[in-house]
Chains A and B, each alone.
Chain A
Amino acid sequence: MAIFTIDEVKKTFSNGEIEEEVLKGINLSLKEGEITALVGASGSGKSTLLTIAAGLQPASDGQVVFEGKNISAMTQEQIRKIRASKFGFIFQFAHLVPFLTVEEQLELMLDVSESTLKKDERKKEIDRVLKLVEMEHRRHAYPASLSGGEKQRVAIARAIIHKPKVLFADEPTASLDSKRSKDVMALIQRLTQTLNITTLMVTHDEDMLSYADRIIKMSDGMVS
Chain B
Amino acid sequence: MNMAWKEIKKNKGRFMILGSIVFLVSFLTFIISGLANGLSQDNAALIKELPDGSFYMDANADETYNLSKIDPDTQSNLLNKQAEAAALSIQMGFLNNKNDKQQSVAFVTSTDSSLFPKVKEGEVVLDASMKDTGIKVGDVLTNNQFSGKFTVKGFVDGKKYSHAPVAFINSENYKEMYRTEEMQLVFVPGEDKAQSVAGLQAYSKKQFLHTIPSYNAEQMSLNMIVWFLVVISGMLFAIFFYMMNVQKIGLYGILKAIGVKTGTLFKMMWTQMLLITAGALSLSVALSQGFKLLSPDGMPFSLTLDTTIQLSIVFLVIGFIGATLSGIQIKKVQPLQAIQQGEV
| Chain A hits for B92, CB < 8 A | none
Query: Is residue A80 contacting chain B, with contact meaning CB distance below 8 A?
Result: yes
Q: Using a CB-CB cutoff of 8 Å, which residues 178-208 of chain B contact chain A? A: none
Query: Is residue B134 contacting chain A, with contact meaning CB distance below 8 A?
Result: no
| B257: contacting residue among A85, A89, A107, CB under 8 A | A89
Bound form: Cα–Cα A100–B5 in Å: 11
Q: What sequence of 0s and 1s flags, for each residue 1-15 of chain B, a beta carbon within 8 Å of any chain A beta carbon?
A: 101001101110000
Bound form: Cα–Cα A94–B250 in Å: 12
| Chain A hits for B336, CB < 8 A | 51, 56-57
Bound form: Cα–Cα A126–B9 in Å: 22
| Chain B hits for A97, CB < 8 A | 3, 251, 254-255
Nearest CB of B to A175, in Å: 8
Main secondary structure of the interface of B (DSSP, over half): helix
6 more CB-based (< 8 A) A-B contacts, given A97-B254, A97-B255, A158-B258: A83-B257, A84-B260, A93-B343, A95-B339, A100-B3, A108-B1
Q: Check B343 against A83 for contact (C-beta < 8 Å).
A: no
Query: Is residue A150 contacting chain B, with contact meaning CB distance below 8 A?
Result: no
Q: Check B259 against A83 for contact (C-beta < 8 Å).
A: yes
**A-binding residues in B (CB < 8 A):** 1, 3, 6-7, 9-11, 250-251, 254-261, 335-336, 338-339, 342-344
Say whether, besides A97-B251, A104-B1, A170-B339, A109 and B10 are in contact (CB < 8 Å): no
Q: Check A91 against B339 for contact (C-beta < 8 Å).
A: yes
Bound form: Cα–Cα A100–B258 in Å: 15
Q: Taking CB as reference atom, which chain B residue is nearest A158?
A: B258
Q: Check A112 against B259 for contact (C-beta < 8 Å).
A: yes
The CB with the most chain A CB atoms within 10 A, among B259, B338, B342, is that of B259
Say whether, besides A100-B6, A108-B1, A94 and B343 are in contact (CB < 8 Å): yes
Nearest CB of B to A37, in Å: 19
| A56: contacting residue among B7, B257, B260, B261, CB under 8 A | B257
Bound form: Cα–Cα A107–B339 in Å: 21
Nearest CB of A to B181, in Å: 79
| Chain B hits for A81, CB < 8 A | 259
